[in-house]
Chains A and B, each alone.
Chain A
Amino acid sequence: MSVMKRVSMIFRAKANKALDRMEDPRETLDYSYQTQLELLQKVRRGVADVATSRKRVELQMNSLELSSNKLDKQARDALSAGREDLAREALSRKSGVQGQLADLNTQYTSLQGEEEKLTTASQRLQAKVDAFRTKKETIKATYTAAEAQTRINEAFTGISEEMGDVGMAIQRAEDKTAQMQARAGAIDELMASGALDDVVSGPRDDIQAELDRMGASHDVDSELARMKSELSQGSAPRQLEGSAGPADGQPTQAAQPADHQAGEGQ
């Protein structure tokens, strides 16, 4: 049999089962309305849960983005210092971080979709619950039990179908959120263990340590060169006029030849 008809029959059967349990529909209306309000609460909580998950993924994406930028800068620093090996290491870590980022991005989009769907579902259910309440009050005020039965059937089946649909949406969102949380937890653990984090900050950042060490020795070299040139300037200032580099704080490469020249002049 047709897929669309079978699905609708299954929804219908659920509604009929509930209708059969009703003795005086007017009394059961209030009970049903109560259930609808509970489902409305549930779908709203669902929206909030998905939003929380989405924000968590967003935070993780931000910190991975920072890692990636930092590794990129480290690679550049390493390259300009002539350390291709370090640059290569930084870039390979960056590519790992980028992989995680791409994965998180997919999750983020999926959560965003789930959030939108649940939000719309919650608005639709709200509108139907309001309509049901109005109908329920009219029926309770106007009709006998027997009349109410027929009057309520359609509305009840209609809202029951919506509730089944929303219930499914909540279930799916919960499953997705649970999956996301497991993955987000795994990334948090990775970060805590240092596998991702150690490239980012703190004393465990070996690339940065190497760059810092190189930077420091570079500074010492240029400082030395500057001092030497100052000293030689003091003794023979006129000889250095044509090569004023070192006094301007030029890099070591520029300072060294000047230094050499000054030495020769003596």
Chain B
Amino acid sequence: MTVAWYLVVSALIFCVGAAGVLVRRSPLVILLCLELMLNAGNLALIAFSRMTGTGDGQIFAIIVMVVAACEVVVGLGIIVALYRRRLPIDVDQLRRLQG
């Protein structure tokens, strides 16, 4: 399969993840959709790395994974804090901006 196929799959997963962010209301699931989008990006990176024949894309993908991990950690920490405070785990109800 040519590289283009992988790129199309990546675009598809990205769009599915974006749709999920827009549609779902639980922050947990929104974070999962963010993971989807990040993975789509990873797939594109690896595909391009294969296309050019250098390893740069793969390094980038690893770094992206690191960032994704950190982000998940912090996001889940927030959700845990929310739960502790007995607040609704619903992005539409958590909307009062500071100030």
Q: Do A and B come from the same complex?
A: no
Q: Which A residues are within 8 Å of any B CB, using their own CB?
A: none
The residues of B with any CB-CB pair to A shorter than 8 Å are none
